[in-house]
Every structure is written in C-alpha cells, then in structure tokens.
Amino acid sequence: MNRARLHEDADERRREDEAFTHYAHARRRGDRIEEKRDAALAALDRRRQLILTAAEEKLDGVRDEQARALAAVHKRSGGHRSTREVAVLFALPIPHVRALLRRDWDTRPIDNNDSTEVGTGGEPEHTPRPRRQRRE
C-alpha cells in the first residue's frame, strides 16, 4: 500500500472517531434534557393533582351550600315545594336537584333534639305515597 492511502485511511478513522465522540456527547446532552423534562413533568403532575384536590375540596363546600339553599326552598314554611318546582325555580335539571337534595340530607348533622321519628334503619319514617294506578 502506498503511504498516501494509509494516511487517507488514518484520517478517515480519525474523522469517524470524532463523529462517534460528537454523537456520544450529543446523546448524553439529550439524555440529560429528557431527564430534566421528565422530572419537570412529574413535578407538574404532582402540582396538578394538588390543585385538583384543593379545588375539589372547595367545590364540595360550594355544593354543600347549594344543597342547603335548595333544601331551604324545598322545605319552605307551610309545606314542601316539589322537586319539579325547585328545579324550575333554579333552572336546573330534576336529577341535579334530586342529587343536591340527597346531598343535603346526607351531610345534615344529626340533631338529637329533632322531633322526627326514626325507624330501625336510621332514616326518618314516612308514609309512602299511594301509587297511581295506570289507566288502560
């Protein structure tokens, strides 16, 4: 082999070695960037979860207030407004009103001085309404 060819081969290997070294450095920088990105995203996920939890706790309080307000209208003095009437007054769907009224019932503190009779199941006793018979 001639000396010029050997010199060219050595230069080619040197350039390849430099390219491999450059690639390795770039890959390490890329790995560090990905690690930082993943750590930042994980921190954001934790922060997001904290925000969601805090907001949900606040919303629960607001929903309790809404439930108490609906219940107050539902049980106005002189009788009860129907669920349908409450839904119309507040422009809410009936299922939503029922859920809020149920929420008020579930979150209402127990009053030992309450004159409501309690059955064995812990729920106030009530007389069920007679069912309407269907016309044929």
* Ramachandran region, residue 79 (left: φ > 0; alpha: ψ -120 to 50; beta: rest): left
CA distances from 69 to 45, 74, 77, 86, 90 (A): 36, 9, 14, 10, 10
Q: What percent of the chain has pLDDT over 70?
A: 75
**pLDDT, averaged across the chain:** 81
The pLDDT value recorded for residue 104 is: 81
In the chain, DSSP assigns E strands to none
- Would you say residue 79 has pLDDT above 80? no
The pLDDT value recorded for residue 108 is: 67
The pLDDT value recorded for residue 115 is: 44
Host H or E run for residue 81: none
3-state secondary structure of 123: coil
Q: Measure the CA angle with vertex 103, ends 97 and 106; round to 5°.
A: 145
Considering the entire predicted model, what is its pTM? Answer: 0.52
Q: Identify which has the larger pLDDT, 55 or 129.
A: 55
